[in-house]
Amino acid sequence: MAGSTRFETHEVFNQAPPLGDFDLFAADLPLREAVAVNGAGQDAEALSSFGQHWGTAELAEQARLADENLPKLQTFDARGYRRDVVEFHPAYHRFMSESMAAGLHVMTWQPDATPTPAPAEVARAARYYMVAQVENGHMCPITMTRASVAALAGEPDLIKRVMPKIGGRQYDPSFRPWWEKSAMTVGMGMTEKQGGTDVRANTTKAVREGEGYAITGHKWFMSAPMSDAFLVLAQAPGGLTCFFMPRFRPDGGVNALHFQRLKNKLGNRSNASTEVEFRDAFALRVGDEGKGIRTILKMVQLTRLDCAIASGGLMRAALVRALHNARHRQVFGKPLADQPMMRLVLADMALEVEGAVALIMRLCRAVDLSASDESEARLARLLTPAAKYWICKTAPPFAYEAMESLGGNGYVEDGVLARLYREAPVNAIWEGSGNVMCLDVLRAIGREGESLQATMAEVIQQAAGLPGARDAVDFIARTLAADNAEAQARAAVERIALLAAAAALTKSAPAVAEVFARTRLSGRRGAMFGTSDISESEAEMLLERALPA
């Protein structure tokens, strides 16, 4: 409810009204087109229902509460027993319940832990993209639980036991053994103080003990510590190995995961991250000894995909608020959205989101088809780190530009954009920073033993007629073949992502593809939004597609 509009000294006017309830799917033409062209068009009615539910002002308010009320670590109970539990505001539990009821943690897996047939990835990604526009913190345990199945599937006996609980859709936050719960969540712990990304430097030790292992050591970052179990890396006699570490031992006793403190993070504040010590903690091996990186990377590839999806969603949320404000805010006698310079800024931002969502859905289609199509599997392997690199690194400056468009109203915590700005960097850092993603692209190209042109044959063909596409392909190939390829990898990987986005747009939005390629692959564009060569008619098209007036 709006408050009084009249004060003793002035009347309140020329402020944008609250965004209110709106359909996150129906109001997003680029998303609808990308979903349809990538095989999930038959899901449109369900996606619109999902978008209406998640687009309510009531859930937006719950997101504010979840962000403002930080998790709390309770190390001991009232009797002095070590418990190491994390308490959350009810708003956080609300989002976990909503996402798990929707199946975001399991809809891409069948009960036997095999992938759900296409277009499951595309249909899920559309939902995940919309949820990210509302509350991104709780998506950490959602993505890790979903992705854990890829690693656990390598242990048939274990996955047979845990899959019914991973597949549960009735969220259960109680602190008790996973086998007693209606559903479970799975977290992950890889990095240590001395190594960070270099997990081969890990010192945590695993010693064979009975049916499992006793693990002693630490993790500098362990995400979602409220989870019922974790996939962790530790040095076994055979080398770095992946383990399944539950919160409770087989006899029902609390496992020796001792949380030292919760991280005081810039953003992602509704979600907890912790430093933890293991003191002969019980765990079961997942995969062969010495194959820990290969095993856990099956999980990481999927969480990296979700990082790109979520960052795209954050960008979309920022764009909607910037455009909504600009249409309602009068400056120098006319709406801010009609001022030529602001109009170009908003159009340029809308164009960036067009490319991001097209690339995300094309990548998800490749993941959908990768089990049966080797060329799609190679493309997914290449585009996952490339998409994560470009989209996740674009999100922070994008959120800032949207925030600036609201002026001081955007900079204060009373609105949404300050939270989006704090949230934006996490996906670029988590699950591999930008440099790591570029190295992964280099590994993908080298491992496949094929040329870049062969791996991206469909992409190159689809983009062939677009401005700057041929030069982009030549630049990528030349850069990656050079002696200093690693040093120059960022430039090549950015071009790979932009080329793939332009190619994806040729299928979902051909008119937009032309503008995207001209401004991103060819022609004049500065480092800031609003410096692209976009005509007035193109700006009108992009802004109407972004959010119908």
Please compute, for residue 11, the number of CA atoms within 13 A of its CA located in the half-sphere on the CB side: 2
On whether both 319 and 265 belong to a single domain, the answer is: no
Residue 446 covered by a domain: yes
H or E element that contains 216 = strand 212-223
Distance of CA 274 to the CA centre of its chain: 20
What pLDDT is attached to residue 1?
A: 47
> How far apart, in Å, do the first and last CA atoms of the chain sit?
23
* Domain limit, last residue, from 248, 265, 290: 290
Cβ contacts of residue 230 below 8 Å, gap of 6+?
Answer: 186, 187, 188, 189, 222, 244, 245, 257
On whether both 284 and 302 belong to a single domain, the answer is: no
Interatomic CA distance for residues 408 and 427, integer angstroms: 26
On whether both 88 and 223 belong to a single domain, the answer is: yes
On whether both 178 and 298 belong to a single domain, the answer is: no
Provide the residue range defining the domain that includes 189. 57-290
H or E element that contains 437 = helix 434-448
On whether both 312 and 402 belong to a single domain, the answer is: yes
CATH assignment at residue 435: 1.20.140.10
| Burial zone of 195 (CB within 10 Å; 0-12 exposed, 13-18 middle, 19+ buried) | middle
- Mean pLDDT value across residues 232-261: 97
CATH assignment at residue 191: 2.40.110.20
What pLDDT is attached to residue 2?
A: 55
* Domain limit, last residue, from 290, 323, 347: 290
Residue 41 covered by a domain: no
On whether both 369 and 271 belong to a single domain, the answer is: no
- Mean pLDDT value across residues 369-391: 96
Residue 9 covered by a domain: no
Cα dihedral sign for 233, 235, 241, 242? negative
What pLDDT is attached to residue 447?
A: 62
On whether both 116 and 142 belong to a single domain, the answer is: yes
On whether both 97 and 219 belong to a single domain, the answer is: yes
Residue 167 covered by a domain: yes
Residue 20 covered by a domain: no
Cβ contacts of residue 30 below 8 Å, gap of 6+?
Answer: 353, 354, 357, 358, 508, 509, 512, 545, 546
Q: Is the pTM of this model over 0.95?
A: yes
- Mean pLDDT value across residues 299-307: 97
On whether both 382 and 254 belong to a single domain, the answer is: no
Cβ-contact 549, 327 below 8 angstroms: yes
Residue 450 has pLDDT above 70, yes or no: no
Cβ-contact 113, 150 below 8 angstroms: no
On whether both 190 and 219 belong to a single domain, the answer is: yes
Residue 10 covered by a domain: no
The number of folded domains in the chain is 2
* Domain limit, last residue, from 290, 305, 335: 290
Cβ-contact 234, 215 below 8 angstroms: yes
What pLDDT is attached to residue 13?
A: 94
Interatomic CA distance for residues 201 and 203, integer angstroms: 6
Mean pLDDT of the chain: 96
**pLDDT tens digit string along 467-495?**
999 999 999 999 999 999 999 999 999 99
Residue 267 covered by a domain: yes
DSSP state of 39: I
DSSP characters over 460-508: HHHHTTSTTHHHHHHHHHHHHHSTTTTTTHHHHHHHHHHHHHHHHHHHH
Interatomic CA distance for residues 130 and 104, integer angstroms: 11
- pLDDT-based confidence at residue 453 (cuts at 50, 70, 90): confident
On whether both 265 and 327 belong to a single domain, the answer is: no
On whether both 301 and 156 belong to a single domain, the answer is: no
Cβ contacts of residue 157 below 8 Å, gap of 6+?
Answer: none
Residue 123 has pLDDT above 70, yes or no: yes
